[in-house]
Structure 1
Amino acid sequence: MMKTLGQALFSSGRQNPKYTEGDKKQDRDYEIRTYHATNWVSTTLSGMQWDAAMNTGFRKLFSYIQGNNRNKVKVEMTAPVTCRVDPGAGPACESRFTVSFYVPEEHQDNPPEPSDPELFLENRKEFTAYVRTFGGFSNENLKREELLKLMESLQRDGVQHVDKPFYAAGYDSPFKLMNRRNEVWVLKEQE
């Protein structure tokens, strides 16, 4: 348990999902990434608060990697922790938040089944995302600001994209103080 807790809190050398980078342009303030098909373990919550959903989802998923799964197997902590946001219909409507951990390579072919009925295994098909990276300690307002900047950049460049859902991704433990990495992802429109 201490090893996994230590990884979750201090490590930056975690496994990440593989992706292929799109063409790079000097003046672009975002990346284009095509993520390979992979398995994730996820939980979906409804609410008004992005950060509250992330915290609740993280705790449920952390319990899963600690061995609270059908196989009683401890699973390595990975990065990023993603949060898919399906916004509600209006400003006072609940949104749906799907918080996910990437399943490490050694479990990709046969991920441990969750024992918590609120968790599920998710097979993400290959997808392309426009990604804006930012530092510091992320919060709901900062994620919204960065998402707006990314959307403005995509509009400026005439890039076809999907307005919703969108994703936030965090790579660091709350105890990492410097060189923090956060991202917002907007999906490429399917052709």
Structure 2
Amino acid sequence: MALISLEDLDRLDDDQLEDDITDNPEPMDEEDRDRLLTHWQAVASTHHVSVPPDMTVPIQEMTRNQQQREPLPFTPVSSHEKMGEVLYEERLYPAGHWACVTKGEDLYEQSISMGFMKLMRFICKENSAGQTPPPPTIYIKKITLPFIYMCVCVCVCVYISLGRYLGMTVPVVTNVHMMEDGNTFQKCVQTAYFLPAEFQTNPPQPSDSDVTIVHREPIRVIARTFFGTTTEETLTRQISLLWEILGATNDLRRDEYLVAAYENPGIPRRRNEIWFVRRNP
């Protein structure tokens, strides 16, 4: 999630938005909304991604709530250091429900950006959470009796489906699958958002068929922190580096890696993690 995604919510600073609208819980006026959209479009264009105008409301909603983020729960297993530096950590993440979007664009950056925009819409009300049941269907019926013609005409009511803001969890995790050569990324990339604890028992359903709710089993990962951008080139380098540190082992998967993103791409040394998955949690 390194580009036009959750991380971009933090990028807005006083020079870009001098009125500090990101900390204002009140609804934004049209000028503020336009400035937010323009900013996102400018960031996205540098990565060959288009942000449509209908993203204005999700961008506004997530910007207003950006300080309220729920961390993914996990159990620490071990930490490995060298000369005071943490080389990697081993963690156990519990089973749970995730909202997932799979995209196969030309560039890794495009896939994760477009996937996260769909997740944003799901998080920001394109879901079934908080909905009330639709009113009874009302229809037109004609009844014909001897010497009497009765026509009962009533209005047809339309029920519009809108949910509620679900809340954000971090990190957002990207699944990267490798080609048979073990060095090249497959085109399809899955971006996944862990549902907040409030919705784990009864997950809200998405309005967009591209967003799927998936229950994942527990995973045990080797996590190594790195800083900077997340492109296919930088991820390939981080994968190779962690293999060098770990050495030869058959306990870890080589066909799939996970990328966890936490921070704003406007920060030159933003925090990310590469995760290797243990075959047997």
Specify if TM > 0.5: yes
Which residue of 241, 252, 271 maps to 1:161? 252
1:32-53 CA-to-partner distances (Å, cap 9, x unmatched) read 0110112110011224422111
1:69-93 CA-to-partner distances (Å, cap 9, x unmatched) read 2331211121111110122346888
The alignment status of 1:124 with 2:216, answered yes or no, reads yes
Change (3 A) 1:162 1:48: farther
The residue correspondences of 1:66-85 to structure 2 (distance < 5 A) are 66-71=124-129, 72-85=163-176
Counterpart CA distance in 1 for 2:111 and 2:102 is: 9
Q: Is the 8 A contact 1:154 1:160 kept in 2?
A: no
The alignment status of 1:181 with 2:271, answered yes or no, reads yes
Which residue of 85, 88, 91 maps to 1:30? 88
Q: Name the SS of the counterpart of 2:114 in structure 1.
A: helix
Q: Is the 8 A contact 2:69 2:168 kept in 1?
A: yes
Equivalent residue number for residue 171 of structure 1: 262
Which has the larger displacement, 129-138 or 108-117? 129-138
Change (3 A) 1:50 1:24: same
Change (3 A) 1:93 1:179: closer
Counterpart CA distance in 1 for 2:274 and 2:255 is: 12
Structural RMSD (CA): 2.4
Query: AA paired with 1:163?
Result: R
Higher relative contact order (CA 8 A, sep 6+): 1
Change (3 A) 1:164 1:153: same
Superposed displacement of residue 159, structure 1: 6.5
Counterpart CA distance in 1 for 2:187 and 2:261 is: 19
Query: AA paired with 2:211?
Result: L
Specify every segment of 5 or more residues in structure 2 that has no aligned partner in the other structure, as ranges: 1-56, 130-162
The alignment status of 1:139 with 2:231, answered yes or no, reads yes
Which residue of 54, 62, 84 maps to 2:112? 54
The number of aligned residues is 186
Specify every segment of 5 or more residues in structure 1 that has no aligned partner in the other structure, as ranges: none
Structure of greater Rg? 2
TM-score in terms of structure 1 length: 0.85
Counterpart CA distance in 2 for 1:7 and 1:172 is: 15
Q: Is the 8 A contact 1:47 1:94 kept in 2?
A: no
Counterpart CA distance in 1 for 2:107 and 2:202 is: 33
